[in-house]
A = this chain, B = another copy of it.
Amino acid sequence: MTKKSPKKVVLAYSGGLDTSVILKWLQTTYGCEVVTFTADLGQGEELEPARKKAELLGIKPENIFIEDLREEFVRDFVFPMFRANALYEGQYLLGTSIARPLISKKQIDIARKTGADAVAHGATGKGNDQVRFELAYYAMEPDITIIAPWREWDLTSRTKLLEFAEAHQIPIAKDKRGEAPFSVDANLLHSSSEGKVLEDPNDAAPELVYQRTIAPEDAPDKATEITIDFEKGDPVAIDGARLSPATLLAKLNELGKANGIGRLDLVENRFVGMKSRGIYETPGGTILHKAHRGIESITLDREALHLKESLMPKYAELVYYGFWFAPEREMLQALIDKSQELVTGQVRVKLYKGNVEVTGRTSPYSLYDKELVTFEEGAVAYDHRDAEGFIKLNALRLRTLAARKKKTGL
């Protein structure tokens, strides 16, 4: 049926119905050995049930891999991306996009360890995730065989999927019988929801969609103020308490959730070519994004900042499209990281009913100089009269253009 004939496949396995069906489909379609990989990226689900389920479906214990990736995820993927202030299409904090490369990387690691010749994922054929997974697989292992069941099988409706599950004794949770009113992806950085009830971009998202944040309306009537310490562009402490990357992000998530922060209702453009509508919740990330801009505002030179800003859309696009393990992303990261060497200091942030406001920033490396900016003259470095020369030479080309216009009328 297909030219692929994998012997051993490493499957990104959540333990849920869909990836369980995939597991069984791989076994029955290819007659291959399946290795499951289940990762904790902070999606908020326990992992041990996935082990049990895998065993139940006949996976050998030595073929079941379960790993807590939360610290690695935040330290090596989320934080580098936040150094860039990355926003896709000006708004989206890239919560789903940034998780895929790490999962892919681990699948390839496991494939090498177990001698597997193939990998498989549960992403659909119309989304961005298939691209992100597969670009990362190929970037690490150029000749790996990739199985993308959603693009290959004929289980093209919910009914067929459930029939296959029943036929293969895959347990079906009661609430999975009916169709979910929307689909969800989640990790420590965010949750996203899309599809079904969200498909008309002119219908407001129902409140039940939101899982990571309470509504601003339900948040406390009193603002919460916190400080975040940064070192070289990364957050290291909240209210003076030093925290590991994942712990810190989890703490920010709590704070964001409680204050109704980080909701986004967006129509975005997928890499595969169509528009889609998503509801994103990035409580901690939203706080972090603003706070990072705050610390940069006093520690980054103007042109360093402007250069970063001008490249940010490209960086965000690369992450969104799935080019994390690509030389152009690494080149941009080198540029960005170079700029962050002294992005160190403290930001004070006010959280209130959906709002994040930077109210103070301080740094031993601050470039803000009260002397320079103060109304009264005096600072040695700045002579009012310099401004005239500055303006006149900046204007010279404009004056030449104006003179041409006077002369030629054009």
Q: Which residues of A approach B to under 8 Å, CB–CB?
A: 85, 89-91, 124-126, 130-131, 134-135, 138-143, 148, 150-151, 156-157, 183, 195-196, 199-205, 216-217, 221, 223, 263, 265-269, 272-277, 293-294, 297-298, 301-310, 312-314, 317, 323, 325-328, 330-332, 334-339, 341-342, 348, 350, 352-355, 357-362, 364-370, 372-377, 380-404, 406, 408, 410
Contact = CB atoms under 8 A, between A and B. Distances in A.
A363 B50 CA distance: 45
Copies, count: 4
Given A334-B334, A348-B202, A303 B328 contact: yes
Best-buried of A276, A298, A336, A404 by chain B (most CB within 10 Å): A404
A298 B277 CA distance: 10
Contact of A389 (B183, B357, B386): B386
Contacts of A386: 388-390, 392-393
A286 to B, nearest CB: 12
Contact of A297 (B141, B267, B305, B306): B267
Contact of A201 (B156, B200, B360, B384): B360
A202 to B, nearest CB: 4
Chain B CB within 10 A, most for which of A143, A359, A368: A368
A304 B331 contact: yes
A359 B206 CA distance: 10
Nearest to A136: B398
Contact of A390 (B131, B302, B372): B131
A358 B265 contact: yes
Name the residue among A332, A341, A357 with the largest chain B CB count within 10 angstroms: A357
Contact of A150 (B148, B302, B328, B384): B384
A340 to B, nearest CB: 10
23 contacts: A126-B382, A130-B387, A135-B395, A140-B402, A143-B399, A143-B403, A195-B375, A201-B368, A265-B357, A269-B305, A272-B387, A273-B400, A275-B367, A275-B372, A301-B328, A327-B339, A331-B335, A365-B408, A367-B397, A367-B404, A387-B393, A389-B389, A390-B393
